[in-house]
Structure 1
Amino acid sequence: MTPTNIKQRKKSHELLACEALFRRVLKEYRQKESIVSAYKREKAGYDGEKNVDYKLSTYPHKDLFVFQGIRLPNFPFYFQIDTLILTRRFIGILEVKNKKGTFNYDSKQQQLTQEVNGEVKSFKDPILQAKAQKTHLRGWLEKHGIFNVPIETLVVIAYPTTTIVNIREDPEVYNTIIHNESLHEHLNRLNRKYTKNILTNNSLKKLCRSLLDEDAPLRTDILTQLGINKQHLIAGIPCERCYAYPMNRLYKKWQCPSCLATDLKAHERIILDYFLLHQTSITNKECREVLQIDSPRTAHSILKSMHLQHDRENRARKYLAPSINDFPQRSTFPYINSSKQIEQFY
C-alpha cells in the first residue's frame, strides 16, 4: 500500500503565467532574459517537487495522507508548505530544495551557501524556513481546535547529484537536511519515534476537509513583475502552425490568414491565458478585444461554450476564471520548433 494523495501537485500560478506569456508575447521579446529566467526558476522548483512527490508515492505505508503543495491563511499572513503529510500520530512538513551543485550549511551562522562551477550564492536558512512553516501550521491547527499533535520538519534536497556539507557536523542537521533518496528511511525513523495515535479517524477526515477548503493558491502579477506591456503582446489568436496572426473567425471555426489552417477551439487557450496574465474575469467587450473580433453575439457564444461561471445575467456580465488548480497542466509552446530552442526553456 502507498500513501493516500489528498491534494495532487498542480503548477503554481506563476509557472502557468510564464507558460502563457511565452504563448502571448511577441516573437522578438520571447528570449528576454527576465522572462526566460522567471520560467526556468519556476519550472526547476516544480520539477524538484515532482521528484519528491514520486519518491513519497512509493513509500510502502497506507496511513499517510499527503497534500502536495498547499497555501493556508494564518491571518494576517499566508504560509505555503511544499508537501504536508498527515498521520494519526504526527504531522510532517517537507521543504523541498531543487538547487544543484554543493550545499554548505552552517548551523551556527544559520546560513546556506550553494556552489556551482566555482560560483557561490547565499540563501535563507531552509531549517528556519521549515520551522516558520511549523509555527504557522501550529497556529492554524489551534484555530481549528487541534492541539498537541507533534509536527516534524524535513528539508528535502530533490536531486541526488547535490552534495550536502554539514559544516559543523551538527547531528540534528543530519536528520533535518536530507536527500530525496533517503526520504523513506527518515519517514521510518519518525514512524518509530511516534507510536501513539493522537488524531481519530473522524478528526483526521475533518482536518483534511478544512485543509482543502482553506487552500488559497498565490496569484502573481507577472506582467508588472517582468515589465511587460500591451505592446509586447500578440493581438488576437496566432496560428499554431505558422505563427501568423490574428486568425480570422469563420462559421464556428478559426482560420489562419497565411497557411489557411483551421482550428475549432483556438479561442479557449487564449481566454485562459488572459485569465492567467491579466485578471480573473472577462466581459464580452474584453473578449472581443482579446480575440480581435467585432460581433458581441459571437463573443457571447464563445464564452458560453467554455462553461465559465458568471456573476450576473445582464449585459454587464463578467465571466469568471477557473480556480488555479483547475487550469490545464500540459505545457504547450506551439511556436518553438527546434530542439535547440526547447533546450533553452528546459
Structure 2
Amino acid sequence: MFPTTIKHRKKSHELLAYEALFRRILEQYRQHEAIVPEYKREKAGYDGERNVDYKLSTYPHKDFFIFQGIRLKNSPFFFQIDTLILTKSVIYILEIKNQKGTFNYDSEQRQLTQIVDGTEKSLKDPILQAEAQRGHLLGWLARHGIFNIPIETLVVVAYPSTIIENVREDPDVYKKIIHNESLHQHLDRLDSRHTRDKLTTTSLKKLCQALLDGDTPLRTDLLRQHNIGPQHLINGVPCQRCHQYPMKRLYKKWQCPNCSAVSTRAHERTILDHFLLHDITLTNRQCRELLQVDSPRTAYLLINSMNLSRSGNNSARIYHSPLINDFPQSSTIPVTFKNHFAKQSLD
C-alpha cells in the first residue's frame, strides 16, 4: 500500500566527517567558528531531508520506488538529487529546502531571498536547481536507453514554520514550491496527469539497479578545507564515556585512565574516523601510530577484527575503508554547542 524505499538515506560523507572531526580534534578547537556553522548547516540539511522522508513514507501509493538521496555521473559532471521517485509512468525529483524563516520568491527575477531574525540573504533559485537536475537526469537516462518517460520536479520546504511568500502571486509557483505537509496532495495532482505506463516491470527493475550501481557519494576533505593539521588532533583512542584520551591497551581490552571505563572495541571508531578524515586506506604502521600501540601483532589483530577488505601481503598489506553508505550512523560527539562561537585560530 505504501511506497517502496530502494535506497535509504544515509548521512553524507561530509556530515560523517564532521562528526569524526569533533571526536578527533583537540577540545579547545571544538567550538571553532569556522567549523560549527558548517556542521550545523550539514546536519540541518540531513534533518530536513529526513522530515520529508517520513512524510513520503506515509503516501498511500505502492507503485512508488524511492531513492532517498543519490549522486550520479552525467559525464563529465556529477549531479545530486535529494529524493528521486520512480514509477512506471513518471519520475519525480524532490529538491528539499530546510531553511527556516521567510522565503520570498520572485518568479520574474528568478530569485529567492530568505529572511531570518531580520537578516536577509539571497539563495539560489530552487526551481532552477530542480530543473537543472531534471536536465542532468534526462542525459543520464538517455545514456541508459530511456528516452520517453516524463520527469516532474517539486521544491519541498521541510518545515511548516517556514513562510513562503510568492512575490508575483504567480500561480505556477504554488505548484512548484510546496510545504512538506502538502506533499501528498501535490503528488496526487501530478500522478493524475500521468496515467500511461512508459516502463515495464522489467525495465523499471533494471533502472532501479542501474541507479544503485551509479550512485557515487561525494567525499569531502575537511582537514584541508579548514586548514587542520596533526597539531590540532588528538593522539590515541578516546574514551567513549568521558571523552578523555588516550585509553590504554591492557590485556586485550582498552581501559580509560580517567574514568576506568573498559572496552574491547574502542579502536573501531578511531579507525573509521581515520578513513573519514585522512585516507581510504590504512597500513599496520599507520594503525600503530593512530592507536598509540607499539606491537605490529597487536595492530594486526585489531584491524583484522573489523573484517575490512584488504590487499597485499605481510608488511605490504593495506586495509581499505568501508563504503560511505556502510559507515555507522550513530552520532555521538563530545561537544555541546554554545550560542556564540568562540573566535579562535587554528594556527
TM-score bracket for this pair, using the shorter chain length: over 0.9
C-alpha distance in 1 between matches for 2:77 and 2:206:
23
Tell me the alpha carbon deviations over residues 124-166 of structure 1, each in whole angstroms, 9 at most, x when there is no partner.
Answer: 1111110110000000000000011000000000000111011
Measured against aligned partners, the alpha-carbon deviations of 1:226-251 in whole angstroms (never above 9, x if no partner) come to 12111111100122333332111112
Aligned twin of 2:178: 178
Give the aligned partner of residue 160 of structure 1: 160
The answer for the alignment partner of 2:207 in structure 1 is 207
CA deviation after TM superposition for structure 1 residue 330, in Å: 1.1
Cross-structure match for 1:58:
58
Equivalents in 2 of 1:248, 1:192: separation in Å?
Answer: 64
Query: Deviations 1:255-290 (Å, cap 9, x if unpaired)?
Result: 122333211111000000000011101000000010
In 1, Cα distance between the equivalents of 2:206 and 2:244?
A: 52
TM-score (norm 1): 0.96
Q: Give the length in aligned residue pairs.
A: 340
Distance (whole Å) between structure 2 residues aligned to residue 162 and residue 8 of structure 1: 26
Measured in 2, the distance between the counterparts of 1:13 and 1:243 equals 23
Q: 2:99: which partner in 1?
A: 99
1:81 aligns with 2:81: yes
Letter in 2 for 1:296: P
For 2:117 and 2:258, locate their aligned partners in 1 and report how far apart those are by CA, in whole Å: 47
Aligned with 1:21: secondary structure? helix
State the partner residue of 1:258: 258
**What 5-or-longer segments of structure 1 have no aligned partner?**
none
Matches within 5 A, 1:331-342: 331-333=331-333, 335-336=334-335, 341=336
Residue number in structure 1 paired with 2:129? 129
1:343 deviation in Å? 7.1
Q: C-alpha separation between the residues in 1 aligned to 2:91 and 2:338? A: 39
Residues 8-42 of structure 1, C-alpha deviation per residue, up to 9 Å, x if partnerless? 00000000001011111111111101111111000
Structure with the larger RCO, 1 or 2 (CA within 8 Å, 6+ apart):
2
Instruction: Kindly provide the amino acid, as one letter, of the partner of residue 23 in structure 2.
Output: R
Measured after TM superposition, the shift of residue 47 of structure 1 is 0.4
Letter in 1 for 2:223: L
Measured on the aligned residues, the alpha-carbon RMSD in Å equals 1.2
Q: Report whether the alignment pairs 1:34 with 2:34.
A: yes
Do the aligned partners of 2:31 and 2:338 also contact (CA within 8 Å) in 1?
Answer: no
Query: Which ranges in structure 2 are unaligned for 5 or more consecutive residues?
Result: 341-347
Match of 1:223 in 2: 223
1:13 is the counterpart of 2:8 = no
Deviates more, 1:42-51 or 1:246-255: 246-255
Deviation of 1:342 after TM superposition, in Å, equals: 5.6
Which amino acid is 1:167 matched to? V
Aligned mates of 1:38, 1:50 — CA distance in 2: 19
